[in-house]
Amino acid sequence: MPLTSDAAVLDTENYRFLTDYVYRESGIVLDNDKRYLLEARLMPVVQDSQLASLSALCSALRGNATSPLRQKVVEAMTTHETLFFRDATPFDALKSEILAQLVEHQKTAHRLSLWSAAASSGQEAYSLAILLLEAGLATWNLNILGTDLSAAILEKARQGRYMQLEMNRGLPAVHLVKYFERDALDWRIKEHVRKMVRFEQFDLRKSMANKGPFDLIFCRNVLIYFDIPTKKKILAELRGALRPGGYLVLGSAESTLNLDETYKRIQVGRATFYQAPGN
Ligand SMILES: C[S@@+](CC[C@H](N)C(=O)[O-])C[C@H]1O[C@@H](n2cnc3c(N)ncnc32)[C@H](O)[C@@H]1O
């Protein structure tokens, strides 16, 4: 469908409708004036769905809440930026100190359960898998769960296939040759590592009563998108999904400060680990 000249224009009513819609569907808060962001992210959805304009997209969303458009809009509004061993500090702290504690705690069961709770395209979950293998735990029962709101990004995570550019970001060269194999111009994670991670769709705003108990949860670079009540609820639910004494890791711009004082803050080098009570 040809686009009209004002196809990308959002009037105040539709702007408010879309910010409410994105909040309701994902928890993501579009504060201040995020008009440019909505326009930039949603115009491809307009074109892909053969609609005439952003206001036509709003009408379609208003008319049919169960439309596949819903998923497309959520996918377009979520930021999937990630990389292998992102922010090296928590991985370094795991290697130097925390993993030894987890291993000591589970030395009888020989079992560790980890959760990458906003897994995006899987680099975080696979980084954890590689770290466990490098620590000599291949014979242990290792369960790594990767979850995300976005079904499309999880499909990429499941494939474990990455472009050269993605491999160049954060992954040490020794790990590249050891844990990946060439797949045409891309790289694919080796099968034994891929099989260590189970990916499933999960909205962090939902109850985590049937998740865990985990020894370690990475929930990084996602709380920043939420409002305070949502952050508090998620932090409380994550605490319930950790075993007593288990650890939560947040993104470098995130913390439990003024949100949940029940976690114990443990500093290891420059990394902060948030420990669930009841060791
Ligand atoms: C910036 S990425 C962070 C990826 C990884 N944790 C990292 O730090 O590299 C944020 C991810 O959070 C996901 N996300 C956004 N809202 C969510 C929600 N309500 N529930 C679960 N995941 C959500 C997005 O789809 C996106 O993949």
Please indicate, yes or no, whether residues 214 and 270 belong to a single structural domain of this protein.
yes
pLDDT tens sequence across 212-244: 999 999 999 999 999 999 999 999 999 999 999
> How is residue 175 written in tokens?
């790990």
Give the atom of ligand 1 at the shortest distance from the alpha carbon of 28: 16
273 close to 98: Cβ distance less than 8 angstroms: yes
Q: Which residues form the domain of 52?
A: 12-77
Please indicate, yes or no, whether residues 48 and 163 belong to a single structural domain of this protein.
no
Give the pLDDT band of residue 5 (cuts 50, 70, 90): low
Give the pLDDT band of residue 6 (cuts 50, 70, 90): confident
pLDDT value for 66: 65
Residue to mutate, 114, 148, 199, 200, ligand 1, most ligand atoms under 8 Å from C-beta: 148
Q: Using the Cα atoms of residue 39, residue 41, residue 42 and residue 46 in order, give the sign of their dihedral.
A: positive
Please indicate, yes or no, whether residues 53 and 159 belong to a single structural domain of this protein.
no
pLDDT tens sequence across 28-79: 999 878 889 999 999 999 999 999 999 999 999 998 766 788 999 999 999 9
Q: 174 CB contacts (<8 Å, ≥6 apart)?
A: none
Ligand 1 centroid to residue 108 C-alpha, Å? 34
Residue 5 within a domain: no
**Alpha-carbon distance 208 to 237, whole Å?**
6
Residue with the bigger pLDDT between 8 and 21: it is 21
Give the pLDDT band of residue 267 (cuts 50, 70, 90): very high
Q: 120 CB contacts (<8 Å, ≥6 apart)?
A: 80, 81, 82, 148, 150, 153, 157
pLDDT tens sequence across 153-165: 999 999 999 999 9
Domain end call among 28, 43, 77: 77
Ligand 1 centroid to residue 5 C-alpha, Å? 34
Please indicate, yes or no, whether residues 105 and 68 belong to a single structural domain of this protein.
no
Q: Looking at residue 62, which CATH number applies to its domain?
A: 1.10.155.10
Q: Is the pLDDT of residue 97 over 90?
A: yes
Q: 89 CB contacts (<8 Å, ≥6 apart)?
A: 252, 269, 270, 271
Residue 1 within a domain: no
pLDDT tens sequence across 166-218: 998 889 999 999 999 999 999 999 999 999 999 999 999 999 999 999 999 99
Please indicate, yes or no, whether residues 143 and 217 belong to a single structural domain of this protein.
yes
Ligand 1 centroid to residue 228 C-alpha, Å? 17
**Alpha-carbon distance 60 to 51, whole Å?**
9
pLDDT value for 31: 82
Please indicate, yes or no, whether residues 35 and 153 belong to a single structural domain of this protein.
no
> pTM for the whole thing?
0.95
Please indicate, yes or no, whether residues 29 and 149 belong to a single structural domain of this protein.
no
Does the beta carbon of 272 sit less than 6 angstroms from any atom of ligand 1?
no
Distances (CA, A) of 216 to 94, 119, 128: 10, 14, 10
Ligand 1 centroid to residue 119 C-alpha, Å? 6
Does the beta carbon of 121 sit less than 6 angstroms from any atom of ligand 1?
no
Ligand 1 centroid to residue 6 C-alpha, Å? 32
Give the pLDDT band of residue 9 (cuts 50, 70, 90): confident
pLDDT value for 249: 98
Please indicate, yes or no, whether residues 133 and 246 belong to a single structural domain of this protein.
yes
Please indicate, yes or no, whether residues 135 and 53 belong to a single structural domain of this protein.
no
**Alpha-carbon distance 61 to 222, whole Å?**
25
Give the pLDDT band of residue 113 (cuts 50, 70, 90): very high
Give the atom of ligand 1 at the shortest distance from the alpha carbon of 120: 27
**Alpha-carbon distance 145 to 201, whole Å?**
10
Domain end call among 77, 105, 132: 77
Please indicate, yes or no, whether residues 24 and 142 belong to a single structural domain of this protein.
no
Residue 83 within a domain: no
pLDDT value for 235: 98
pLDDT value for 65: 60
Please indicate, yes or no, whether residues 70 and 189 belong to a single structural domain of this protein.
no
Does the beta carbon of 27 sit less than 6 angstroms from any atom of ligand 1?
yes
Q: Looking at residue 128, which CATH number applies to its domain?
A: 3.40.50.150
Residue 177 within a domain: yes
Ligand 1 centroid to residue 7 C-alpha, Å? 29
Specify the number of domains making up the chain.
2
223 close to 251: Cβ distance less than 8 angstroms: yes
Beta-bridge partners for 275: 247, 264
